[in-house]
Amino acid sequence: MAVGEAVFPQMPAIAGIRLGTARAGIKKAGRRDVLIVEVPEQARVAGVFTRNAFCAAPVHVAKRHLLHRASRYLLINTGNANAGTGAQGMQDANACCDALATLTHVASHSVLPFSTGVIGERLPVERICNSLPEALASLDDSAVAWELAGQTILTTDTRPKGATATCYVNDQKVTINGIAKGSGMIKPNMATMLAFVATDAEIETTLLETLLRDSVDRSFNCITVDSDTSTNDACMLIATGEGPSIVGHASLAAFREALDEVTGELAQAIIRDGEGATKFVTLDVQGARSRDEALDVAFTVAHSPLVKTALYASDANWGRILAAVGRAPVEDFDVERVVIDLGEVPLVEAGGRAPGYTEEAGSAVMARDEIGIRIDLGRGEAAATVWTSDLSHDYVSINADYRS
């Protein structure tokens, strides 16, 4: 189940980027489950990764290889996370990098590995390595290649997620494409489960890293399905250097806006495709003393099982929202200043139910597929937005049957 219609966009070619897929049979025979992304030699690559202490072997290897600043290939597999696999997992991740490096005549550190799927099982190295020639033979820069790549990286997702945007630098067009996967175990603490974004712009590495971190904080770090942070989260930004340089305030502002458009669209697509989701919920917190405070309030509401089940039931049980806001880690909370609106319906004012609120009006908003909740803390100028979903019977079923 997914909220809202979504059609994978017609992705333009990114000069210097080619994508190829293969069927390794990691978890299911006949399914595309291996993706190779080819990066030109002059490209700059930046990444952000999960902060989970049990981060997967490919996360360790990718971070180490990224330090060489010589990335030529991204190697992604689904069906197996290669997490919780100890020293053997590190050997297996390195073995896959070595195999691709041998076939493409590059150094092993020029390959960045990424995995997603079941935790605690050994990576099927032989199957992945045997599939590499098929993936390399299919390398292409077409819209079809981008869509196949989007399909290949899915796990419990119901549909591929892609976004594209353009901007102009000195009358030259810059293109940004991105794909992502994620549906459950969604509460990133850096990025999303897996996201790969590429642009034809030329961007210096330090600036590229800053642009990625900032954009991730405004997008992937503002979503949650179930408050679980994955062991394998990674978000990569590749600048091929085939297009115009991003230098100067005007070009930087234009590029940042286009990048935020791509990452924001991908982040919201993950929530719309959240496991068992029937509602897409936007939590706008205003009037905070800091952005972190606004995020604390938004995530406290977004993570409340009672709020999420009320959303699923279209039950205007506004007391659950009130209680969640009140237990957020905010010092010197003055509840008399707090204002909460459910859609266009005033919900809470002056410490209690807003005058004129009716159950009928609240229920009408809760019955919608897309719901907005606005919370004004009345204590400052900072604000933040978080996107989340409801909690349904299907979420339990999907995760109970995940390894079946």
**First and final CA of the chain: distance in angstroms?**
19
Which residues, 6+ apart, have CB-to-CB distance to 216 below 8 Å?
Answer: 48, 188, 190, 191, 235, 263
Half-sphere exposure in the Cβ direction for 256 (13 Å, CA): 16
Stretch (H or E) spanning 257: helix 249-272
Residue 168 to residue 68: CA distance in whole angstroms = 31
Outline where 273-331 has alpha helix (H): 291-302, 305-312, 318-326
Residue 26 to residue 222: CA distance in whole angstroms = 31
Identify the active-site residue in 21, 152, 192, 224: 192
Stretch (H or E) spanning 23: none
Residue 49 to residue 44: CA distance in whole angstroms = 17
Phi-psi region of 276 (alpha: psi -120 to 50; beta: other; left: phi over 0): left
Our answer to whether residue 192 is catalytic in this structure is yes
Which residues, 6+ apart, have CB-to-CB distance to 61 below 8 Å?
Answer: 90, 93, 94, 97, 112, 113
Backbone angles phi, psi at 279, to 5 degrees: -135, 140
- For the annotated catalytic residues, the residue numbers are 192
